């Protein structure tokens, strides 16, 4: 078993971030917490009803973050899966909400609608028949016929493919599925099968001498891959070390999963996160995301943290 677990990106305004992902894209805010390494900053998790692995996009909003520039060594695009007939709905919704988007395009035979959030984060929807059967979160204004099911893929911008391909393949268990133009698709699925809908693909986009990327608002900070258990995570770390000479960090407790990190050969920060314990570990599924949750080691500082965090709610999305 493998696949994407979550994608984490940098935003500017926290309230605007919430208004876009919840009120425009219709994702559920499944966790409202802080960056454990920088508790003066929010960490907002968006996903499906329960925050299933593969459905999760998270943000560190920094009010004064400088704009980013996409380039080599970065994730240049995060792609959400929607049902097959949903592209027309989303085009109209983007027009109604003033969302920047471009003409639908085909990649590996699939129809994609590229768009950007308010910080310029590059996103896309991909229309997949297999998405129709997956559960939909409909609590934030988008019905089941059109709702985003989860993250299908990320696209990494790289100078040349071989070493990143080895990290994805030997290290993380992905398989090369297809090539098209300067894209190489890696799948988390079985040989010969289409890439799974939820977290099932990574595309390498070979961009040669393109400029390196610059981190900031609108860029992806890291991509996390699934581990079924701590033992599975340790086995992946062993393979990375033995086969590729890549060292991972020690395991960090992220409350909702346990993680190790490493920089893959093209420069993108990768994380390997356990599926357990999940987002219901500190609040019921019914009320996920409704209040600020802190890990036990930060609870004593709650009054100070709450005073420093920017307000999330004053902005309401125009409807």
Contacts of residue 235, defined as CB under 8 A and 6 or more positions apart, other chains included, come to: none
Q: Count CB-CB contacts under 10 A for residue 242.
A: 10
The nearest distance, CB 45 to Zn ion, in angstroms, is 10
The nearest distance, CB 221 to Zn ion, in angstroms, is 8
**268-300 residues labelled b (16+ CB within 10 A) or e (exposed):** bbbbbbbbeeebeeebeeeebbeeebbeeebee
Q: Is 227 in the site for Zn ion (CB under 5 A)?
A: no
Locus of tokens 């593969």: 54
Which one of 271, 289, 293, 305 is in contact with Zn ion (CB under 5 A)? 271
Shorter beta-carbon distance to Zn ion: residue 152 or 226: 226
Binding mask 178-217 for Zn ion (x = CB under 5 A): ----------------------------------------
Calculate the CA 134 to chain-centre distance. 18
Q: Is 224 in the site for Zn ion (CB under 5 A)?
A: yes
Closest CA to 199 of 280, 144, 128, 100: 128
Shorter beta-carbon distance to Zn ion: residue 57 or 142: 57
The nearest distance, CB 229 to Zn ion, in angstroms, is 18
Q: Is 8 in the site for Zn ion (CB under 5 A)?
A: yes
Q: Is 264 in the site for Zn ion (CB under 5 A)?
A: no
Q: Is 158 in the site for Zn ion (CB under 5 A)?
A: no
Binding mask 280-299 for Zn ion (x = CB under 5 A): --------------------
The nearest distance, CB 8 to Zn ion, in angstroms, is 5
Extract long-range pairs of 289-292: CB within 8 Å, 24+ residues apart.
289/28, 289/29, 289/30, 289/31, 289/32, 289/45, 290/32, 291/32, 292/32, 292/33, 292/34
Binding residues for Zn ion (CB under 5 A): 8, 224, 271
């Amino acid at each position: 078993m493998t696949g994407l677990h979550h994608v984490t990106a940098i935003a500017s305004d926290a309230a605007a971030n919430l208004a876009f992902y919840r009120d425009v894209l219709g994702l559920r805010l499944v966790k409202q917490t802080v960056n454990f390494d920088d508790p003066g900053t929010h960490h907002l998790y968006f996903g499906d009803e329960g925050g299933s692995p593969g459905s999760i996009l998270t943000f560190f909003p920094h009010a004064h973050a400088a704009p980013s520039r996409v380039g080599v060594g970065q994730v240049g695009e995060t792609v959400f899966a929607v049902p097959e007939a949903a592209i027309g709905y989303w085009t109209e919704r983007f027009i109604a909400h003033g969302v920047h988007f471009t003409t639908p395009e085909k990649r590996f035979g699939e129809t994609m609608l590229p768009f950007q959030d308010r910080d310029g984060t590059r996103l896309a929807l991909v229309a997949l028949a297999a998405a129709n059967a997956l559960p939909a979160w409909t609590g934030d204004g988008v019905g089941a016929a059109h709702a985003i099911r989860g993250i299908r893929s990320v696209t990494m911008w790289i100078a040349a493919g071989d070493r990143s391909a080895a990290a994805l393949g030997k290290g993380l268990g992905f398989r090369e599925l297809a090539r098209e133009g300067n894209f190489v698709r890696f799948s988390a699925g079985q040989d010969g099968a289409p890439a799974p809908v939820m977290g099932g693909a990574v595309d390498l986009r070979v961009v040669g001498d393109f400029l390196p990327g610059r981190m900031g608002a609108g860029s992806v900070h890291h991509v996390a891959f699934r581990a079924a258990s701590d033992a599975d995570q340790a086995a992946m770390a062993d393979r990375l070390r033995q086969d590729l000479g890549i060292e991972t960090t020690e395991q960090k407790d992220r409350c909702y999963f346990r993680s190790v990190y490493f920089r893959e050969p093209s420069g993108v920060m990768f994380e390997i996160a356990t599926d357990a314990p999940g987002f219901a570990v500190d609040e019921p599924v019914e009320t996920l995301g409704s209040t600020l949750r802190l890990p036990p080691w930060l609870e004593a500082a709650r009054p100070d943290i709450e005073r420093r965090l920017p307000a999330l709610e004053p902005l309401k999305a125009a409807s």
